Amino acid sequence: MTGSLRTIEMLEYGTEDHVLHHCAQNSSKFLEAVLVAVKFLSKRGTGDPKYESQEAIDVVAETCSDIAGGNQFLDFYKMMLGSET
């Protein structure tokens, strides 16, 4: 968590100032968004094509970023979910 707003950021290992991804506005939103992502990821290995499509991945990534606090967090959730876009 950084700054007075307590935003959640992913930092490069071994650094304190190189931000790789902005993840959420606060810890509560981060946990809620990650829960949605984990639920989706747990279904991806089942062989059901509706969980494997790029469209499904992008929809869940957008949902997670909305929960996290907005579009500025979308790249993190796309990376987390394995989006190719």
Q: Is the pTM of this model over 0.85?
A: yes
Strand partners, 8: 24
The three-point CA angle 50-24-16 to 5° equals: 125
pLDDT in tens, the chain (85 residues): 554 457 999 999 998 889 999 999 999 999 999 999 999 999 988 888 889 999 999 999 999 999 999 999 999 999 999 999 8
Tell me the domain boundaries of the chain.
8-81
